Each structure stands twice: as structure tokens, then as C-alpha cells.
Structure 1
Amino acid sequence: MSEVLEPYRDHISAFWSLEDIDQTKADHRDLLNLYALDQILRFAIDRHTIETLFDNAWDCTPCRFGHLQSFCGGLATVFANTTSVESDFSILKWEMDENHTCLMHLSLEGVFQAKQ
């Protein structure tokens, strides 16, 4: 996540404190480590599908990773301009589907990095 957030750190810091950003990155790192080590949590996360509601997905980690949950919730409520998203997918030579129509550039950064 740090690779994804770093190019946007200045922009994010206009809305979040540097401590909040660092805690979000720490939450992400800790969640990845816990996922690798805790078979029960891994099973619970892997059970989720695209049909799983946002709050229901986070229920498997109650009262943990609050900064990460808030950050992801913020991403889920930001809608990019359809034209810019279509352009990004065109560059990637991927087709748009209903699951990608509301992505913003920060979300696409992860897609771009995965593509590399």
C-alpha cells in the first residue's frame, strides 16, 4: 500500500494528518501479516465475494484496522469521471465492466502496478 499511497501523499495530507496516513499504512501492513498468519481470518476474508457489503466485509476484523477501514470507505464513496476511467482502461487495453465504472485514479494506481 505504501507504494500506492506515496505518490499521493501530498494530496492525501490535505485531508488526513501525516500520522493518520502512517497509521493507515501500518494497518495495511498489519492486516497483510495477520492474513498470512491467521488461518481463520484468511478463511473469513476469502469467503467474501463482490456481493459482500463493505461493512459486512470489515466485520471479520472488528475494532481493528480503523484507519485502513476509514480510508477504504472513503475510496468507496469517490466516483471518478467516467471519461477518465474509460481512458485509463483503454490505456491498459482492458474492458470496462460494472465493477470498474466507479474507480478513481488512486484505485487504478494499484491496477497499473499489478499490470507491470
Structure 2
Amino acid sequence: FWRDPTNPQGYLKHSRFLAEANNERNFDQNRKDLWLALKHARFVKWEQDTTIIPRESSWWGMYSPDYNIVSRFDTEVYKKDLIGIRTLEEEGRADFISIPGDHMKFSHDQINNIVRPVFTQ
């Protein structure tokens, strides 16, 4: 999934997944409501991620047209709360956690201390 920072209109027109998942192309209140129905969500960013580029997009960040990092707080998805991430965070129902390592490389301790608690809340 690629959001071309130099061609946002092309991204919106041709994205087969990401633009829909983020409610950027055709806003769907039901999609947002599904996110808002979560009791809690935890979003993990791996500090040495070689799969998610930029790694900040694990938290809805992105590249600017000059390839600087744009924080989630400065994206339309967050500012317009297109999928409810801002609401979840403001209500204390979202955690954003950064851990060392590469994409999806959880240690047993991380599974027990980061992943498992989400399912027992």
C-alpha cells in the first residue's frame, strides 16, 4: 500500500485499499462506527521497521511531498477524524507504542506485556 506524497490525487484515484480503509476517498460512516465500537486499540510502531515506510505510517503519519515526516496529528485522516482514531485517542481508548525491532517481530515478553493486555481489558 503506497501513498505517493507527490501525487495525492493519483493516490485517491488508484489506491485499491488504503484510501478506502482510511475513509479518504468515499467517506463511510459505518467504517468509522466500526472503529469507534472498539473498547481499546493499540498501535505498534517498530523502530527499525523495513516493511512499513515511513514507519510513522504505523501511527497514521506519512511523507510530505518533500519526503519529510508528517505526524498523524497533521494529517486529514486525523484532523477530520475520518476513521475515529482521534476520538479513540482523546477518549483514552487508543495507545501508540514504539518498540525496538523490525516489523511484526514480537518477543515473548512483548506479546505478554504489549499484545495480551489489549485482549483482557
TM-score class, shorter: under 0.3
Of Structure 1 and Structure 2, which has the larger fraction of its residues in strand? 2
Instruction: Give the TM-score normalised by structure 2.
Output: 0.23
Larger RCO (CA within 8 A; separation ≥ 6): 2
Of Structure 1 and Structure 2, which has the larger fraction of its residues in helix? 1
